[in-house]
Structure 1
Amino acid sequence: MKTKILVLLSIFALGSSATLQAQKLKKFGSSIEKKIGPKTIKVPYTDVVSYLGYATPGNEDQVKDGKKFYYIYVWIPAVAPELGVRMMSPVGKNKIKNATVSKAYADNSKSNDYFDTYITLERSDIISKNNITEDAVKNANWVTLASNDDSGEMPKQPSGSSYNSLLRYKSEISSPTKALTVGLYRVGFTTYKRGEVKGTFVAQVAAPIKLPGVAMAKTIADLKKELSK
């Protein structure tokens, strides 16, 4: 009996170790291809902006189609050929360099809570930093450019399910509503199923070119502080 218990414990330990390994966040690459000699490679994202947060029930920004949505606002200061967005929950032991750390995350960084992420990338009709106000954002026209639920490129959650999210959106220059121009964007996130959103998360927005002056914040007030630095 003792031997069986030891074997079961060993299997459980190996499974836990594999789950922890699977939680490691890897480098973020683009979908844009470039030919170098005989080889074709994917252009890596050279500019990655990260935000560490903690979502709590009752603190959502909007209820849309019965789902509780939270938003992270992003200022994009230049035209970009592509934007990548990804979200992982929980953050776990990942060390995210140069991330904006919210107070909510700092207070709950050791939490084991996580959620099934679902993300959207939305663009507004606000194209000047001077026009970013609470009222302007509430009354802005928002266009959803892309969304994602589950991505096999992302680390698995502690449950073993591939419920973290990643999307890449290529600019459509010929379409005014689908081009990645200078302006105010937001990353929307919720859960795939209707319910509460609770847990730590890291959200990242990336581009294959340098975009000096990108700012990312959970509220408009905090975004304006970032832009004034």
Structure 2
Amino acid sequence: MRLILILALALAVVAPSQAQKLGEFGSLTEKKMGPKTIKVPYTDVVSYLGYAAKDTEDEVIDGKKFYFIYLWVPAVAPELGVRMMSPVGKTKVKDAIVSDVYTANAESEDYFDTYITLERSDIVTAESISAEKVKGAKWFSLAKNDDSSEMPKTPRGTKYNSLLRYKSVVGNPLKALTVGLYRIGFTTFKKGEVKGTFIAEVGAPVEIPGIVMAKTVEELKALIK
């Protein structure tokens, strides 16, 4: 009986780390594979490792503390996908953009119920990006997501991680995925504190060299080539 109890406790400890493993990032395009229909993986994926600290939000919207990750898209895209998972845990990601604040808090066990949004700004050239212009920019909402059944479970066993996909609307200036500055907003579904490590990924069905993400405008400008 004691051995069974020890094994059960061990499984309870291991399960969360196993649940946090990210799989392939599939696009809106589907392909028939025998009896199954699968989403064709994005061919271009950019990853960002970050940490959300308490009371460091960028803006309060409808009573919720929102944090932003800035995204530079240097070419027209037919589709973009965004997903976020918290905590990062032992998940390994190749060639990720790693923020200093993540490095300082990589061992943290804190995590949050992710809620993500995707917006496009009216800034369309890299030369126009500055803290002052970003502060006065117009932002156009494209998509949002709270819980996705496609994402790994949280350490509590709940499907609270997020994923969205957005297809460009050709001919509609406000809904098209044009060259420009975007931002990923994130918070929690319920009003409260946002605290913990996270991984954010942006995927595209075609290769778009030069896509970069950063927590601040200054960091983004340093990454743009």
Q: Describe how 1:164-203 pairs up with structure 2 within 5 A.
A: 164-203=161-200
SS at match of 2:66: strand
Q: 1:194 to 1:41 in 2, by over 3 A?
A: closer
What is aligned with 2:102? 105
1:33 aligns with 2:30: yes
- Which 4+ residue blocks in structure 1 deviate beyond 4 angstroms? none
Return the TM-score normalized by structure 2.
0.94
Cα distance in structure 2, aligned partners of 1:190 and 1:70:
6
13-22 or 106-115, which deviates more? 13-22
The one of 209, 212, 217 aligned to 1:212: 209
1:125 aligns with 2:109: no
Shift of 1:197: 0.5
SS at match of 1:136: helix
What is aligned with 1:23? 20
Shift of 1:35: 7.8
Shift of 1:102: 0.6
Shift of 1:175: 1.4
Give the aligned length.
Answer: 223
What is aligned with 1:224? 221
What is aligned with 1:49? 46
1:93 aligns with 2:90: yes
Shift of 1:40: 7.2
Q: Describe how 1:128-167 pairs up with structure 2 within 5 A.
A: 128-167=125-164
SS at match of 1:151: coil
6-15 or 51-60, which deviates more? 6-15
SS at match of 1:72: strand
1:78 aligns with 2:75: yes
Which letter does structure 1 place at the counterpart of 2:81?
A: G
Larger radius of gyration: 1
SS at match of 1:169: strand
Cα distance in structure 2, aligned partners of 1:8 and 1:40:
41
RMSD, aligned CA: 1.6
Which letter does structure 1 place at the counterpart of 2:150?
A: E
Shift of 1:44: 1.8
Cα distance in structure 1, aligned partners of 2:38 and 2:178:
26
Q: Which runs of 5+ in 2 are unaligned?
A: none
Cα distance in structure 2, aligned partners of 1:41 and 1:199:
32
Cα distance in structure 1, aligned partners of 2:32 and 2:161:
31
Q: Which runs of 5+ in 1 are unaligned?
A: none
Cα distance in structure 2, aligned partners of 1:22 and 1:153:
12
